[in-house]
Amino acid sequence: MPDYEPILTAGVARTDIDVRTLEGYRAVGGWATFARAIRETQPGQIIQTVIDSGLRGRGGAGFPAGQKWKFLPADHPGPFYLVVNGDESEPGTFKDRLLMERNPHLVLEGIAIAAYATRARYAYVYLRGEFHRPYAVMAKAVAECYAAGLFGQHISGGDYSLDVQLHRGAGAYVCGEETGLLESLEGKRGWPRIKPPFPAVKGAFGKPTVINNIETLSCVRGIVERGAEWFKSIGPAHSTGPKLIGLSGHVNTPGVWEMPMGISLRELIEKYGGGMRGGKAFKSCIPGGASVGFLTPDQIDMTMDFEGPRKCGLLGLGTACAAVMDETVEIPRILYNIARFFSHESCGQCTHCREGTGWMEKTLLRLLAGGGDRGDLDLVRKLADSMGMMPGMSICGLADGAAWPIKTAIDKFRGEFEALCAPRRKAIPAPAGH
Amino acid sequence: MAWKATDIRGVDVEAQETPALSEQTVSEIRALFDRYPTRQAVLLPALHLAQAQIGYLPPKALLEIAGLLELAPAQVLDVVTFYEMYWRQPKGRKLIQVCRSMSCELCGQVGLLDAIKAKLGIEEGQTTPDGQFTLIAVECLAACDKAPVVLVNETLHEKVAVKDLDEILKPE
């Protein structure tokens, strides 16, 4: 894409300056938008601009970011909080890491503008505990911002004050769920909360709270600087703005790149991924983190945007980081890996998820070991239908994410699973006389 | 994870005069008090600081943290047992964390884990007798384009091949 101007990764490839430093980031025009915003703009104007831009959340669910901000009560005495979700743990996802490691000030400027727009006095940035390197880079950037007076009391002599605190998680996927994250931030087990009340009304420490993903907030500076129309001009309708899209698995050059949404998976693999590794045939792909489900070989032309994956029977775009599988992959084996993950990460609050994910893992293992039959296959498939928020059986979406790969894998690759099943046991002949 | 009760015994706290937490750790924990509206919110960072100092979280450290944060010891234990990264038993000086999730499995993680086991002579969850290494398999480390990855303490090793293991598994 030679005509595409990078926004999220602007300047990260430059060798003459280092945008990870405050000085380098300022050299590419950084922090000017925040300064202008708090001087010249009202919070409500910024929220309207973000709504008009069509910015949708980049964390997986794709909820309109501006709408989330608008849900905050107008007459609450505060304090309000902004919580930033950097708990990137969805298997196959590696995009927020890039932003935090390579462009931390863009993330922080987006946070600062969003905090101003949502009247937040405090912003907590929750990074997963295993993110040692991103934490180190972000901590340095936060310290630079405090030293330069960009954070703290009465920023630039004005009325607005903002404190930004990095907060490390400690290894729990469920803390990426927004209310699980809030519980964790409060110093508790990361157990998702029953909603309503939604975080906008009663969030962190019982106060109105907005929670956004790292990449979502990284879009905010561009929107406020250049306007909603400019943002909407990037990518297809309903999938506006720049996006980080990644490739891992069986391609020649895995990586993560910034581009408009709407690119087909085929083009992504050929143009960015350098084609399939070893020239092998494409078999399947999980295009947005483990929970979105599997594609069939003929769904390779799926578009990477908010609409494309649903048309292919997937849960959604997810995180737009695709794991590509070639013809050598045994789908039941990868499905077992995913089932093991969700069984391990279920928080244990809801029965269907706690028990269901465990039995999915065990049953798939039995199938792989050759000890299962077709009844097991049907049982697992039925179990998948009964789990999650969609059938109304759990508090959070983890169970939906656990069920979707099972549904898509068994429906789309049933033959492979049946091949693992033992032949039906012979019926025991009835005793004589009956 | 959390709900799987692996250790249901009671917790014994050794009677000893010297505190488990160093003065520096305590002051680092106290410095966080005005960054959060509640003391309880300091719990996760406090546990990280204590573990960084001691290497794991002995019962005495948990009690002292409970005291500092004005929490019941049970609240601290409740949190410690939920999260994967908190260790209630001593671990090796180098914690070898091999990613076992989807993308790493596609890129050869299974063979890599077997090679590490053979090299160290231990299974997952075990520590070498000299206390150098503890080996565990962990879920996705969010570096899938560099798969397979191995996190050794705080250093992420990318695109790890069996031939790199001599370098990665060098004793300290």
Q: Using a CB–CB cutoff of 8 Å, tell me whether A169 touches chain B.
A: yes
The predicted pLDDT at position A396 comes to 96
ipTM of this model?
Answer: 0.94
The whole-angstrom distance between B83's CA and the closest CA on chain A is 6
Distance between CA atoms of A376 and A227, rounded to whole angstroms? 54
Nearest neighbour of A187 by CB, restricted to B2, B44, B85: B44
Q: Does A146 touch chain B (CB under 8 A)?
A: no
Is the pLDDT at A425 greater than 80? The verdict is: no
Indicate if the pLDDT at residue A431 is higher than 80: no
Q: Which of B3, B41, B105 sits opposite A185 (nearest CB)?
A: B41
Interchain CB contact of A172 with B (< 8 Å): yes
pLDDT band at B12; cut points 50, 70, 90? confident
For range B101-125, the mean pLDDT = 96
Name the residue in chain B with its Cα closest to that of A136: B154
The pLDDT of residue B13 is 75
What is the per-residue pLDDT for B6? 59
Band of pLDDT at residue A370, cut at 50, 70 and 90: confident
Q: Give chain A positions within 8 Å (CB) of B145.
A: 94, 246-248, 254-256
Residue A372 has a pLDDT of 87
Q: Which of B71, B90, B109 is the last residue of a domain?
A: B90
Q: Can you give the pLDDT at residue A289?
A: 96
Tell me whether A213 touches chain B (CB under 8 Å).
no
Mean pLDDT computed over every residue of chain B: 93
Mind listing the pLDDT tens digit for each residue in A281-305?
999 999 999 999 999 999 999 999 9
Strands (E), A287-388: 321-326
Looking at the DSSP bridge assignments, the partners of residue A286 are: A323
For residues B106 and B84, state if they share a domain. no
**Mean local confidence (pLDDT), A48-59:** 97
| B129 and B74 housed in the same domain | no
For A169-184, how does the pLDDT look when each residue is reduced to its tens digit (9 = 90+)?
999 999 999 999 999 9
Q: Looking at residues B107-132, what average pLDDT do you find?
A: 96
| Contact check, Cβ <8 Å, B147/A346 | no
| CATH class of the structural domain A242-326 | alpha beta
Residue to test with chain A: of B40, B82, B146, most A Cβ within 10 A = B82
Average pLDDT, chain A: 95
The strand order across the sheet containing A282-286 reads A255-260, A242-249, A321-326, A282-286
> What is the domain count for chain B?
2
A–B: how many Cβ contacts below 8 A? 156
Average of pLDDT values for A387-397?
92
Question: Strand A209-213 and strand A163-168: pairing?
Answer: unpaired
Mean pLDDT, rounded, for A40-66: 96
| Residue A117 burial (CB count, 10 A) | 27
Please determine, for residue A1, whether its predicted confidence score (pLDDT) is greater than 50: no
Q: What residues in B contact A79, CB-CB < 8 Å?
A: 37
Where along chain A do the CATH 3.10.20.600 domains lie? Answer: 242-326
The minimum CA-CA distance between A343 and chain B, rounded to whole Å, is 8
Question: Domain check: are B120 and B41 in the same one?
Answer: no
Domain end point (choices B90, B122, B140): B90
CATH numeric code, A22-232? 3.40.50.11540
CB contact under 8 A, B142 and A248: no
Instruction: Name chain B contacts of A172, Cβ cutoff 8 Å.
Output: 1-2, 82-84
Calpha distance A386→A46 (Å, rounded): 42
Nearest CA to A182 out of A216, A151, A214, A207 is that of A207
A421 pLDDT higher than 70: yes
pLDDT digits (tens, 9 = 90+) for A19-30: 999 999 999 999
3-state SS of A171-199 is CCHHHHCHHHHHHHHCCCCCCCCCCCCCC
B1:A344 CB<8 A: yes
- The arithmetic mean of pLDDT across residues A53-74, rounded, is 95
Q: What is the pLDDT of residue A182?
A: 98
CB contacts, 8 Å: B45 with chain A: 167-168
Task: Identify the pLDDT of residue B38.
Answer: 98
- Per-residue pLDDT at B4 exceeds 80: no
Interface of B with A in 35-94 (CB under 8 A): 35-38, 40-45, 47-48, 69, 78-79, 82-86
Last residue of a domain, one of B90, B108, B142: B90
Residue B8 scores a pLDDT above 90: no
CA distances from residue A139 to A13, A153, B163 in whole angstroms, order as listed: 21, 19, 34
Q: A255 forms bridges with which residues in the sheet?
A: A247
The stretch B40-68 carries a mean pLDDT of 97
Which one is the CATH code of A331-420: 1.10.340.30, 1.10.1520.10, 1.20.1440.230, 1.10.40.30?
Answer: 1.20.1440.230
The per-residue pLDDT for range A207-266, each reduced to its tens digit, is: 999 999 999 999 999 999 999 999 999 999 999 999 999 999 999 999 999 999 999 999
Name the A residues in 327-386 with CB < 8 Å from any B CB: 329, 333-334, 337-338, 341, 344-348, 354
Regarding whether B79 and B5 lie in a shared domain, the answer is: yes
- From chain B, the residues in CB contact with A88 under 8 A are 142
**CATH code: domain of residue B77:** 1.10.10.1590
Q: What is the pLDDT of residue B148?
A: 97
What residues of chain B lie within 8 A of the CB of A170, using their CB? 44, 47-48, 83-86
Q: Quick one: DSSP state of residue A64?
A: B
pLDDT in tens, A183-201: 999 999 999 999 999 999 9
- Rounded to an integer, the average pLDDT of A95-116 is 98
Q: Tell me, yes or no, whether B83 and B99 share the same domain.
A: no
Domain that holds residue B2: 1-90
Scan residues 100-139 of A and list those with Cβ closer than 8 Å to B.
Answer: 128-133
Contact A187 B41 (CB under 8 A): yes
